[in-house]
Structure 1
């Protein structure tokens, strides 16, 4: 059946519980095998730390996020970088590193939300000491520039993280659109350990198939930037999800060629194309291909499922995803579904 819109927050939560139940029992039984470490899920009274490890944000712009997370039953601790400004950054490299490191080491903090994206994490990631975090994992939340942390943590530590909206994307419930509330509630559901299920409108360009694998990915430009480094994403036998914003079509084509030539598309289990906000071609410089044509040109020789226009990215319908965790991707001609198994 064709879906006319993305699932609402309440149907998402209800469906995930009724369909999947307690996935922990399934995993422990040996039916599902995963080497990824899943940080402890949060409960009432758990604490979420907020730090500005990348771009600048002030305390006022975090207000809606703080109030909503408190309404979920969590405590919130604001980092020292909130309100600090060093040009475009949320403080100097030293200040941002110290704030993030403090939260990684703080036993009273159960999850860390990066307050906003922008740029900055690649400047400090190599100085972060993950030794305590490795022994006592906690959820790291964010997207866009936070892809640096997602990729580095999964490649080096094998710990799951949450690709999701950050403080600057929270909206007061009294003025929020239904899709905004649904995406924000998906963060709560992730943090509380509910199994997650998302559906997307089928696209004629999709490649069909059903696969079960760990989910990895994030911002495409950032993934390209990490290539060849110790934070380089490992896509072998994984479901890769990518999104981006503010890029020309030729630049997106170049990034997908980078994925192909570096072997990252060859051994995939599946590919999810999220939202892409594309810059209009300069006059007289038309590229001549759509995003779908760009992608299919690179993957048509492979047999794994591919879906387009998935509800994740720099857009209102940006749902929370548990990167590193096992998922089932089901792409058919009239149905697209991604569900978490951890």
Structure 2
């Protein structure tokens, strides 16, 4: 796996949305944050553009992303919003230049398509991290500070409280993953996740319990859990009860999908949709240690 160069003061960082439209207020707050990190934000043409729920037309979003990944002066690209939209353009992006001059691609939610596409096709590390749209719920220092550390190459080590459904054990492997529904929708496409021999991260929001179960069952049938080294479960928020009730918590639904396997499982990692969204360097070697007393997640700086 190739690691893009870490950022340094004065670097230019691209800001765009390949999915849904983002309110200007949060863009302004993002610019202030990046400036405080001594970076130079470069706003893409999708910032302020709107077509329906999208940040401009498919053509505009594709062109914006293509120009950002091709621009040698841009050292990282931040998506501002998830939602929906990358899948409409991702297969048309030409990564030939990016392959030889990689840069950090940052985001989560719908950006899962981008993470899996880039790592599956090019084996280049990316960052699953907070976005401008998260500022709607206020500035979360821990989320943004973890993203800054990931971008600048500072050590990342996390501790997670014990959970009753955790499965103890150790795993050392690269980490990949993202939003559960996106991972499911990407099956059979060029953006399909390759979880073999990896630590798989998963999170979800805004789904009914039966839909969560259907996504996980589909991923299981596709063999996505068969050769996993470990499972890191992030935020599971706003998972709505069915009528009649499904009969399980969201965490129990996830555990039931992987209970036949023997890899370690950690629940409750604060990443994805939720009050905290700590950065994960996808494609990075990770040591995950799950014990009855809690879990530690340690990232290696070299990929």
TM-score if structure 2 supplies the norm length? 0.96
Match of 1:63 among 7, 12, 28: 28
Does the Cα contact within 8 Å between 1:64 and 1:171 map onto a contact in 2?
A: no
Task: Specify the SS of the correspondent of 1:317.
Answer: coil
Counterpart position of 1:317: 276
Q: Once structures 1 and 2 are overlaid, which stretch shifts more, 296-305 or 316-325?
A: 296-305
Does the Cα contact within 8 Å between 2:206 and 2:240 map onto a contact in 1?
A: no
Counterpart position of 2:207: 247
Does the Cα contact within 8 Å between 2:239 and 2:250 map onto a contact in 1?
A: no
- Where structure 1 has 5 or more consecutive residues not aligned to the other structure, the ranges are 1-35
Offset of 1:171 from its aligned partner? 7.2
Deviations 1:3-26 (A, max 9, x none): xxxxxxxxxxxxxxxxxxxxxxxx
1: distance between equivalents of 2:239 and 2:128?
Answer: 24
Alignment of 1:219 with 2:179, yes or no, is yes
Counterpart position of 2:240: 280
Q: Once structures 1 and 2 are overlaid, which stretch shifts more, 317-326 or 296-305?
A: 296-305
Aligned length: 301
Counterpart position of 2:6: 41
Task: Specify the SS of the correspondent of 2:142.
Answer: helix
Task: Specify the SS of the correspondent of 2:298.
Answer: strand
Matches within 5 A, 1:36-185: 36-170=1-135, 176=139, 180-185=140-145
Match of 2:263 among 304, 308, 325: 304
- Where structure 2 has 5 or more consecutive residues not aligned to the other structure, the ranges are none
1: distance between equivalents of 2:80 and 2:249?
Answer: 33
Task: Specify the SS of the correspondent of 1:88.
Answer: coil
Does the Cα contact within 8 Å between 2:120 and 2:194 map onto a contact in 1?
A: yes
Does the Cα contact within 8 Å between 1:56 and 1:90 map onto a contact in 2?
A: yes
Task: Specify the SS of the correspondent of 2:74.
Answer: coil
Task: Specify the SS of the correspondent of 1:81.
Answer: coil
1: distance between equivalents of 2:94 and 2:240?
Answer: 41
Structure 1 segments of 4+ aligned residues over 6 angstroms from their partners: none
CA-based RMSD of the aligned residues comes to 1.3
1: distance between equivalents of 2:167 and 2:96?
Answer: 41
Counterpart position of 1:26: none
Alignment of 1:209 with 2:169, yes or no, is yes
TM-score if structure 1 supplies the norm length? 0.86
